[in-house]
Amino acid sequence: MSDSVASISPRGMTWARRKRALARVWRELRNDRSGFSGLLILLGFGLVALCAPLIADRSLLLAAAGRNNPDLAGPSAKFLLGTDDIGRDILAQLVWGSRVSLFIGIFATVVAVLIGSLVGLVAGYVKGKVATVLLAIDNFFLVVPFLPLAIVLAVILGRSPVTLALVIGFTSWAGSARLVRAQVLSLSERGYVERARALGANSRHVILRHILPGVAPLIIANATLIVPGAILTESTLSFLGFGDRLSPSWGKLLDGAQSSGSITLNAWWYYLPPGLCIITVVLAFTLFGRALERIFDPRLAGR
């Protein structure tokens, strides 16, 4: 109600303020060497993932594609990174693998952040029994070892990449719920939420207009730090046998490298590239996320 009366100028002001804030974030990011290089690396990998069909034909992933090629052949002009144990081009798998790995990592993070923010917002906003129950659930998910839990869920629910992403998301939201709840509590303490409520705003309005904007930067920084964890979990699950060999993620490539005995056969072109890709992307996300954290939370500056 009060919203519609004074909608034009305050909202315009809000937008102007957000634009300024965004400009500030960009400026500080540009000056943060490690954070900015993390971002550049990520953009590079993102580009490769998007352009995968232009770089290598998808049919190269089929089992049949390797039939006439030598198995476990070293790098050559024809196969820049050699072939796997059934003769498929490893570079092609690596390029397409970036799609699978990044997709699962990001999709899982979206799921985790959605659940985590929802639980955190509600647990921080309402008091009483609901909050207690939510906190107990959150605590449970923090304590239960998440890899065994993810394994069990994936075995029961199925092994496709989408299921894996859902499973990873479902097992990694507890930390963000904590974080979001703490931030909501500290925002409420500053009192203007009470004021908005006293003015007759309903909960939905208070959460969307007053709390969410205050929590959003934190959620974004936190999400950037969940992605690397999700990518690592995905690679672990794939290494343990989940996922699809015909549309392999980097972790799945490592699984293939391990089970085909490439290590004892010294076929480094099989296991080295996917491992290095995982490390690089995880590191880039971590650097970028920590930079965002520093920018959004000045108390952490200098860390």
| Residues at the site binding other proteins, with contacts judged by CB under 8 A | 139-140, 142-149, 151-153, 155-157, 228, 232, 235-236, 239-242, 251, 254, 257-258, 263-264, 266, 268, 271, 275, 278-280, 282-283, 286-287, 302-303
Residue number with CB closer to other proteins (50 or 144): 144
Q: How far is the CB of 156 from other proteins (least distance, A)?
A: 4
Q: How far is the CB of 257 from other proteins (least distance, A)?
A: 7
Q: How far is the CB of 152 from other proteins (least distance, A)?
A: 5
Residue number with CB closer to other proteins (207 or 231): 231
- Long-range contacts from 186-193, C-beta under 8 angstroms, 24+ separation: 187/211, 187/214, 187/215, 188/124, 188/125
Q: How far is the CB of 208 from other proteins (least distance, A)?
A: 31
Residue number with CB closer to other proteins (52 or 277): 277
- For 186, residues 6+ apart whose C-beta sits below 8 A from its C-beta are none
* CB of 187 closer than 8 Å to CB of 214: yes
Number of residues that make up the chain: 303
Our CA dihedral for 292, 294, 298, 299, rounded to 10 degrees, sits at: 140
Residue number with CB closer to other proteins (93 or 286): 286
Report the alpha-carbon distance of residue 164 to residue 161 in Å, rounded. Answer: 5
Residue number with CB closer to other proteins (65 or 226): 226
Report the alpha-carbon distance of residue 232 to residue 127 in Å, rounded. Answer: 36
Distances in whole angstroms, Cα of residue 254 to Cα of each of 20, 76, 251, 257: 45, 21, 5, 5
Query: Furthest-apart CA pair in the chain: how many Å?
Result: 75
- For 2, residues 6+ apart whose C-beta sits below 8 A from its C-beta are 199, 200, 201
Q: How far is the CB of 64 from other proteins (least distance, A)?
A: 24
Q: How far is the CB of 266 from other proteins (least distance, A)?
A: 7
* CB of 103 closer than 8 Å to CB of 113: no
Residue number with CB closer to other proteins (122 or 253): 253
